[in-house]
Structure 1
Amino acid sequence: MIDLSESIEFDQVVDMAAQRLSPRINHSVEDIIMELMEGTRMGATPVTHDVALPHFQASNLSHPEMVLVRAIHGVHISYHNYVSDEQEEGVVPQEIRSFMPEMN
């Protein structure tokens, strides 16, 4: 769990989550960041009801891993909205965000 008391950008939160996940899933911080950011750029990060769920598939995991983030002042994020087919940005407020590699 990462608790944040300041306003923060999405890429900063991704970096923090990657630092936590890296030793647990035996993937480099850089690879985790790349996977999470690419998924978000492509519109694969669900954002709904004040929650963002960045995720990616990782090979050779024996069990799922997740990093939860609570940000009191929200996380600024830019993402592709598949419903409107528009690029959107805003603040995902103070709810839990998870960064989760899925098992193959």
Structure 2
Amino acid sequence: MPQLASYKCHRVARCKSPHTIAKELILPSAIDIVSTMIDDATASKLKAIPLSNNIARRIYDMSKDMEVQLNDKIRDNHFALQMDEATDNNKHCLLITYVRSLMPMI
């Protein structure tokens, strides 16, 4: 549960602010508010929220989750796959992939 709360702190990233703002300002403020409004025991649970600058781990976790969701949706369904590769003037390789599902992917 604390790790899920850590992922919910995406507002800091959207503001293009350093992660230290959440660690040094937002979390201590939230702890003060909760201890004042509710109690210290509940406020101490907020201290378990990990706020680190490990963006690569979060991106990896989110990409794995998207991969699992996609696999679940296309498993046992018919779909078409089209791939195209090209290089640009700087000899960068480009790969474009289109997946067309014959079943609505809601």
Higher RCO, 1 vs 2 (CA within 8 Å, ≥6 residues apart): 1
More strand by share: 1
Structure with higher Rg: it is 2
Same fold (TM over 0.5): no
So what's the TM-score if we normalise by structure 2?
Answer: 0.24
